[in-house]
Structure 1
């Protein structure tokens, strides 16, 4: 007989599908991204956060300047606010990643120490 399941037997088809999924899960775990790939994603995330803060600040400042008919006073002010917001978001992301790395290296005790301190 052949290895393909009987099309009339749903239990056999289900078992064959489960076997295929199990074999693919093991190969997918081997092909997981490396730590360097994760660091690249983190760097791009931080760059995007900074640029988004600058862009939002630029948009608000430019809109206010157009609305009020002023010199680029609001533009400069809100670009600086956007820069500060972007840097703050970047630092928050870096702190989050650092906490995850410390929790992963030290195990559950690092998580408990962080809870007792703060």
Structure 2
């Protein structure tokens, strides 16, 4: 047995690999719609997290200072604004990824 590979077998293997890659490229990915759904959920979670953090900080300050509705409302609104800004930044990242021709996956994580 020689140490040299058989060129005919290598060529046949390359042809099989090329055919398999072509078939795989034609087959649509089944998880593409899940990718869009995960991006949507990510944006919803960012908004809810901003609201929750703002609510928590506002309620905590109100309990400490005895001014119950003041900081609660203020920080809840600030949390909402922060959540919307984060959602818009995520939407811009997704849009830039689609314009560049890349699949819009969770690239920042």
Gaps of at least 5 residues in structure 1 are 1-25, 106-118
Q: What corresponds to 1:51 in structure 2?
A: 48
Shift of 1:33: 4.8
Shift of 1:62: 0.2
Q: CA RMSD in A?
A: 2.2
Q: What corresponds to 2:78 in structure 1?
A: 81
TM-score of the aligned structures, taking structure 1 as reference length: 0.60
Q: What corresponds to 2:17 in structure 1?
A: none
Bigger helix fraction: 1
Higher relative contact order (CA 8 A, sep 6+): 2
Write the distance in 2 (CA, Å) between the matches of 1:65 and 1:80: 15
Shift of 1:31: 9.2
Gaps of at least 5 residues in structure 2 are 1-20, 103-109
Number of equivalences: 78
Shift of 1:97: 0.5
Contact 2:54-2:78 at 8 Å conserved across structures: yes
Write the distance in 2 (CA, Å) between the matches of 1:69 and 1:36: 49
Shift of 1:36: 1.1
TM-score of the aligned structures, taking structure 2 as reference length: 0.65
Question: Residue by residue, what CA displacement relative to the aligned partner does 1:27-69 show, whole Å, maximum 9, x if unpaired?
Answer: xx97955321111000100000000000000000000000001
